[in-house]
């Protein structure tokens, strides 16, 4: 997409496996959200009091309302019978709502709270009014190494689910067949596209244009962390900072983040030999007690895992070993962030910092 063609409006393109494949399918979409900041008027002076709880304001849950037009004209007769069932299978599940804004692919955890089906005479299309709740209050910038893209055509929707016509009026000996244990259709369909060539990392420049086109054919988005790990290995772990000298006992450095909303969704990995390591990010310190020579993984939930090498199983450490010296968990800001790790022993050691970038 050329600079002059960047579209700053947010276009919703998929929920679970339900692909919104053209502009006619999405009749309207509105999003509302607000901050949690509240005011209390002063009694004997001008203005109001505002309780500032953090550097940024916190956000409430978001509400997205949209009207979908379901067009039956491209479907074959046997597909028409299951199309609405396919729609309902997707909108009744909690999942990811996907959108594109400018050159950025975004997703948010969502569920459908309200469903409206206005009555109208069927003329090849029906409409549905849906209300989505974005309960985290934020959107995630898609990790291009975890997202894969499969060419999509509405006529192939039945490939993702096991739809069958049940002949209820026939004898049991005809209809009551044993169920075969086969991989689910969606699993088989996804596997064909979990390759480096079909990743967002490789296809980003071309798919951005395709998502904004008004054509009916587009892509189905597949989110798969494990496939990304197999393809990219350690490149999935985030920003890497290492000791400058073998005998140094500290790692210090800076890294850039494109998050818009301050993010505490961060995964830290320490490799090498450490003794009571103290990790300081943007001035906030946390310490892990103990001696380690291997791989330490610290998740944003506070869970800590240790393995002596990549071939060994991960061992979950006691929560008491993670000490909060300032505040619980680190907060990553937009722009340059600083990191300082103390407690390194005489060995080569590194820190990996993986940040989940967020936006409104």
Q: Are 284 and 339 in contact (CB under 8 A)?
A: no
Note the pLDDT tens digit of each residue in 155-165.
777 777 766 66
Per-residue confidence (pLDDT) for residue 183, from 0 to 100: 56
pLDDT on residue 190: 73
Closest CA to 323 of 266, 284, 274, 268: 284
Asked if residue 139 lies in contact with residue 356, where contact means CB atoms within 8 angstroms, the answer is no
Q: What pLDDT sits at residue 217?
A: 64
- Entry pTM: 0.88
Residue 178 has a pLDDT of 47
Q: Which two tokens stand for residue 8?
A: 């700053």
pLDDT of residue 176: 46
Measured CA to CA, the distance from residue 190 to residue 152 in angstroms comes to: 12
What is d(CA 70, CA 220) in angstroms, rounded to the nearest whole number? 17
Q: How far apart are CA 179 and CA 181, in angstroms?
A: 6
Distance of alpha carbon 322 from alpha carbon 310, whole angstroms: 22
- Would you state the CATH architecture of domain 3-42+49-231? Beta Barrel (2.40)
Q: How many residues does the chain have?
A: 360
Query: CA-CA distance, 254 to 335, in Å (whole number)?
Result: 10
Pick the CATH number of 238-359 from 2.60.120, 1.10.287, 3.30.160, 2.60.40: 2.60.120
Q: In this structure, how many other beta carbons lie within 10 angstroms of the beta carbon of residue 7? A: 14
In sequence order, the 6+-apart residues with CB closer than 8 A to the CB of 243 are 250, 251, 272, 344, 348, 349, 350
The pLDDT value given to residue 9? 85
Question: Does residue 9 contact residue 101 with C-beta atoms inside 8 Å?
Answer: yes
For 127, 177, 229, 289, 359, the CA distances from 225, given in Å and listed in that order, are 34, 37, 6, 30, 21
Residues 6+ positions from 256 with CB-CB distance below 8 Å: 335, 336, 337
Q: What is the 3-state secondary structure (H, E, C) of the chain?
A: CCHHHCCCCEEEEEECCEECCCCCCEEEEEEECCECCCEEECCCCCCEEECCCCCCCCECCEEEEEEEEEECCCCCHHHHHHHHHHHHHHHCCCEEEEEEECCEEEEEEEEEEEEECCCCCCCCEEEEEEEEEECCCCEEECCCCCEEEEEECHHHHHHHCCCCCCCCCCCHHHHCCCCCCCCCHHHHHHHCCCCHHHEHHHHHHHHHHHHHCCCCCEEEEEECHHHHHHHHHHHHHCEEEECCCCCCCEEEEEEEECCCECECCEEEEEEEEEEEEEEEECCEEEEECCEEEEEEEECCCCCEEEECCCCCCCEECCHHHEEECCCCCCCECCEEEEEEEEEECCCCCEEEEEECCEEC
Quote the tokens at residue 70. 């379901």
| CB neighbour list of residue 232: distance below 8 Å, 6 or more residues apart | 145
Q: Where in the chain is the domain with CATH 2.40.30.200?
A: 3-42+49-231
Where does the chain hold its CATH 2.60.120 domain(s)?
A: 238-359
Give residue-wise pLDDT tens across range 161-199.
Answer: 766 666 555 555 544 444 455 555 666 667 778 899 999
Which residues in the chain show pLDDT less than 70?
Answer: 1-5, 23, 162-189, 214-217
CB atoms within 10 A of CB 14: 23
pLDDT digit string, tens, across residues 280-334 = 999 999 999 999 999 999 999 999 999 988 888 889 999 899 999 999 989 999 9
pLDDT of residue 245: 83
- Report which of 344, 338, 325 is spatially closest to residue 250, judged by C-alpha positions: 344
């Amino acid at each position: 997409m050329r600079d002059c063609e960047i579209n700053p409006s947010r276009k919703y393109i998929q929920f679970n496996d339900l692909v919104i494949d053209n502009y006619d399918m999405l009749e309207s979409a509105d999003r509302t959200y607000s901050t949690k900041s509240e005011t209390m008027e002063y009694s004997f002076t001008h203005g109001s009091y505002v309780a500032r709880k953090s550097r940024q304001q916190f956000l409430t849950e978001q509400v997205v309302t949209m009207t979908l037009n379901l067009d039956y004209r491209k479907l074959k007769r046997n597909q028409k019978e299951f199309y609405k069932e396919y729609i309902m299978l997707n909108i009744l599940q909690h999942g990811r709502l996907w959108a594109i804004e400018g050159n950025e692919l975004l997703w948010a955890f969502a569920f459908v709270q309200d469903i409206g089906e206005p009555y109208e005479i069927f003329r090849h299309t029906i409409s549905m009014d849906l209300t989505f709740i974005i309960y985290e209050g934020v959107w995630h910038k898609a990790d291009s190494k975890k997202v894969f893209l499969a060419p999509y055509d509405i006529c192939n929707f039945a490939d993702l689910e096991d739809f069958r016509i049940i002949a209820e009026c026939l004898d049991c000996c005809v209809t009551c067949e044993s169920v075969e244990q086969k991989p689910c259709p969606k699993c088989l369909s996804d596997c064909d596209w979990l390759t480096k060539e079909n990743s967002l990392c490789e296809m980003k420049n071309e798919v951005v244009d395709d998502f904004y086109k008004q054509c009916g054919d587009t892509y189905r988005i597949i989110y798969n962390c494990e496939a990304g790990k197999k393809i990219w290995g350690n490149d999935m772990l985030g920003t890497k900072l290492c000791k400058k000298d073998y005998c140094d006992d500290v790692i210090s450095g800076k890294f850039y983040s494109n998050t818009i909303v301050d993010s505490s969704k961060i995964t830290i990995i320490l490799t090498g030999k450490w003794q009571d390591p103290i990790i300081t990010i943007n001035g906030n310190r946390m310490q892990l007690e103990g001696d380690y020579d291997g791989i330490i993984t610290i998740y944003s939930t506070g869970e800590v895992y240790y393995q002596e090498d990549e071939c060994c199983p991960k061992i979950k450490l006691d929560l008491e070993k993670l000490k909060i010296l300032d505040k619980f968990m680190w907060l990553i800001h937009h722009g340059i962030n600083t990191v300082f790790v103390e407690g390194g022993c005489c060995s080569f050691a590194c820190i990996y910092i993986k940040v989940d970038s967020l936006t409104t």
